[in-house]
A and B are shown apart, each in its own frame.
Chain A
Amino acid sequence: TQLLEQSPQFLSIQEGENLTVYCNSSSVFSSLQWYRQEPGEGPVLLVTVVTGGEVKKLKRLTFQFGDARKDSSLHITAAQPGDTGLYLCAGDFWENSGYALNFGKGTSLLVTP
């Protein structure tokens, strides 16, 4: 199983600040996904990146896939309390003809007013 390392593990910032979360692996992924999970709920997909070097924007969130498709970053501009949650990156892998997601351990973000 390919390992995905996320950093930082915890992040506490004030409203209006910018932040970047990193997701790194020694393996190449055909695609990488970012999810956000709020307490008591399952993860919700934010974005899927497929092409090396790809950059996708979702309002104040910017996602980048590394050129070698081994790493990704999530940048949040002017964070708001509503951005609070657990951010997870996941790479897909195929084994025994079945599909699965390999998740990083996540970055827990707290944005205070």
Chain B
Amino acid sequence: KAGVTQTPRYLIKTRGQQVTLSCSPISGHRSVSWYQQTPGQGLQFLFEYFSETQRNKGNFPGRFSGRQFSNSRSEMNVSTLELGDSALYLCASSLVGSSTDTQYFGPGTRLTVL
């Protein structure tokens, strides 16, 4: 079974631009979560989608948004990029998103904002 894939793996943008990151979950998984990882803050939860609905959202500004498609693939968008948005963005998928599920993480997208 293929793992979680994220595209692109690396991205360089400048301040003020916007960016879209993509995540393809493991086949059959309906829950997709997004996390931001930085050296200073560690992994922080962005949002979680299940069956095309956002069920949970972390404490991030409205510039961070996401969506999930009917095939469970998910995208996240960051508008008006700031230097502090430079981070590794990780996507995780699980069957239904619960305590008994195993979260499988993708390799991440490394975003650099110049």
Contacts and interface: CB of A to CB of B under 8 A. Distances in A.
For the side of the interface on B, what is the size category? 20 to 34
Contacts of A90: 43
Contacts of A99: 31, 33, 48, 55-56, 97-99, 101
Interface stretch (B13-21, B63-71, B74-82, B104-112): B104-112
Given A99-B55, A100-B33, A100-B58, A42 B90 contact: yes
B35 to A, nearest CB: 8
B112 to A, nearest CB: 15
Contacts of B58: 1, 100
User: Is chain B's binding surface mostly helix, strand, loop or mixed?
Assistant: strand
Interface stretch (A18-26, A59-67, A76-84, A101-109): A101-109
Contacts of A30: 99
A99 B50 CA distance: 10
A91 B78 CA distance: 26
B92 interface: yes
Interface of B: 4, 31, 33, 35, 41-45, 48, 50, 54-59, 90, 92, 97-99, 101-108
7 contacts: A31-B99, A42-B92, A42-B105, A42-B106, A98-B54, A99-B98, A101-B45
Given A99-B55, A101-B103, 10 more contacts: A1-B58, A1-B59, A31-B99, A42-B106, A94-B56, A96-B57, A98-B54, A101-B43, A104-B42, A106-B43
